[in-house]
Amino acid sequence: MTRKVAVLGSTGSIGTQALEIIHANPELELHSLLCNSNLDLLLRQRVQYAPSVTAIASPGGECPDGIITGQEILHKAIDGADMVLNAIVGSAGLQASLICRDRGITLALANKESLVVGGSLLRDHIRCGGIIPVDSEHSTIFRCLNLETHPVRSITLTASGGSARDIPVEKLQTAGVDDILNHPTWDMGARITVDSATMVNKAFEVIEARWLFEGLQIDVVLHPQSIVHSLVRLADGSWKALMGKPDMKIPLQYALQYPNRELGLISDDCPLDWGTLEFSELDGRRYPAFDMVVRAGQDGKSWPAAANAADEVAVAAFLDRRISFGDIAIVIEEVLTGHEALEISDFQTVMRADRDSRIQAERIVRKLC
Ligand SMILES: NC(=O)c1ccc[n+]([C@@H]2O[C@H](COP(=O)([O-])OP(=O)(O)OC[C@H]3O[C@@H](n4cnc5c(N)ncnc54)[C@H](OP(=O)(O)O)[C@@H]3O)[C@@H](O)[C@H]2O)c1
């Protein structure tokens, strides 16, 4: 029997790669496509992959025949699917994850913001095995822990250091958009590329890992080559890792087929291709936002939602060339300083913290412009 997959965020970096995996795999069937506003690409995907449902959140005008939009599109895109790939960017992805939770549908989760802003709301779905991580670090840890019978001491997330890692610290404040979008090892969407440069992405991954692998100590180490995709340390001090040239199709295929063990060959690199592997500590001066966001995650409640909202607004303003690269950390810091935390009891509370923090972040951006 084939598995019907809903691809939410189909026009993005993760979404387009997922469509290639689904197309190449006879056990997978595309159920639906959903994007925000990229109608041209959505229409081409519809012709190429022939899903049952094609949906767009913000069409910016009349919707062509056969494309749906409006309030209920998430439900319509998810109804009838056996698995949902959530590859929407930002906190906009949380609602789709919650629909999967409510319906008991397995979620292949690329949208880390779902766990950053609403981890407590998804805890039961994680505990019953309803979430398969797609982020390469978490996919690695998930695979290393899968069928492991020995006790685990800790997990270590690797970080490439992003495009800012080789820019002199004194020049970081004014680093340009083109320099920052030029990631050394991964080809990704604009927001996550900027978040990799500030290391906010890694802080989000720490929060994500805390929910996915509850109770385990989490460390982060800089690894510029992105060959070791994260590590698990066992009780006897030995280390397990998944290694290879960076390619998101590997975690995508694993998640979309999980728990099927017959994985197709994606990459045929070998250790001789990898060169020297280096590991070092994060330099806090280079990545001032990292500790702030990790701390927001530790403080819980609506702190991480506020950090995410501040970051979304700040990154968009940086990409629009309204603020400088160094200002992103300032916006996050000021939003967190003024934030009055709420207990997260439901989706509405998350959205309230999200909305209030965005308003606050916009004010700070206007002041910095
Ligand atoms: N890219 C990677 O290698 C990578 C690796 C690990 C994790 N992730 C995570 O995966 C997620 C997606 O990343 P990405 O790099 O693929 O981002 P991206 O290239 O910017 O794509 C984002 C996708 O989300 C859609 N979208 C945005 N807002 C939406 C909304 N309100 N409703 C429906 N669809 C919406 C976009 O549609 P439009 O095109 O119409 O705007 C697009 O299809 C992020 O959470 C990211 O952190 C990405």
Query: Which tokens go with 306?
Result: 């506020």
**What is the CA(226)–ligand 1 centre distance, in A?**
21
| Residue 254: predicted pLDDT | 98
pLDDT at 185 (0 to 100): 83
Q: Which of 19, 35, 206, 354 gets mutated to test ligand 1 (max ligand atoms within 8 A of its CB)?
A: 35
Which class for 346: exposed (0-12), middle (13-18), buried (19 or more C-beta within 10 A)?
exposed
Yes or no: say if 318 and 331 are a contact pair by the CB < 8 Å rule.
no
Residue 323: CA atoms inside 13 Å, Cβ hemisphere, count? 23
CA-nearest of 330, 337, 321 to 369 is 321
Task: Compute the distance between CA of residue 107 and CA of residue 35 in angstroms, rounded to an integer.
Answer: 17
Could you give the 3-state DSSP secondary structure of residue 156? strand
| Chain centre to alpha carbon of residue 45 | 22
Cis, bond preceding 288 (omega within 30 deg of 0): no
Q: What does DSSP assign to residue 68?
A: B
CA 351/CA 154 separation, integer angstroms: 33
* Single pTM value for the model: 0.97
Residue 187's pLDDT is 86
Q: How far is the CA of 189 from the centre of ligand 1 (A)?
A: 7
Q: Return the DSSP state at 280.
A: B
- Reading phi first (left if > 0) and then psi (alpha if -120 to 50, else beta), residue 310 is in alpha
201 CA → ligand 1 middle, Å:
14
pLDDT of 186? 82
Q: Which two tokens stand for residue 58?
A: 């913000």
Six-digit token string for 48: 């190429």
Pocket of ligand 1 (CB under 6 A): 9-15, 34-38, 57, 87-89, 92, 110-113, 135, 186, 188-192, 248
The span from the CA of 154 to the CA of 232, in Å, is: 6
Provide the token pair at 238. Answer: 């030995």
* pLDDT tens, residue order, the chain (369 aa): 899 999 999 999 999 999 999 999 999 999 999 999 999 999 999 999 999 999 999 999 999 999 999 999 999 999 999 999 999 999 999 999 999 999 999 999 999 999 999 999 999 999 999 999 999 999 999 999 998 999 999 999 999 999 999 999 999 999 999 999 988 888 899 999 999 999 999 999 999 999 999 999 999 999 999 999 999 999 999 999 999 999 999 999 999 999 988 899 999 999 999 999 999 999 999 999 999 999 999 999 999 999 999 999 999 999 999 999 999 999 999 999 999 999 999 999 999 999 999 999 999 999 999
Nearest CA to ligand 1 atom 20: 189
**Gap from CA of 90 to ligand 1 centroid (Å):** 7
Residue 237 confidence (pLDDT): 97
Residue minimizing CA distance to atom 21 of ligand 1: 12
Q: Where do the DSSP E strands lie in 36-141?
A: 53-56, 83-86, 106-109, 131-133
| Per-residue pLDDT at 222 | 97
* Ligand 1 atom with the shortest distance to the CA of 111: 45
Whether residue 304 is preceded by a cis peptide bond, meaning omega within 30 degrees of 0, is no
Query: Of ligand 1's atoms, which has the minimum distance to the CA of residue 9?
Result: 43
- Give the C-alpha distances (Å, rounded to integers) separating 308 from 19, 274, 313: 28, 34, 9
**Which domains are seen in the chain, by residue range?**
3-134 (3.40.50.720), 138-245+268-286 (no CATH), 300-369 (1.10.1740.10)
Among 69, 89, 91, name the best residue to mutate to test ligand 1's pocket (greatest count of ligand atoms within 8 A of Cβ): 89
Cα separations (Å) of 277 from 57, 193, 203, 227? Answer: 43, 22, 23, 8
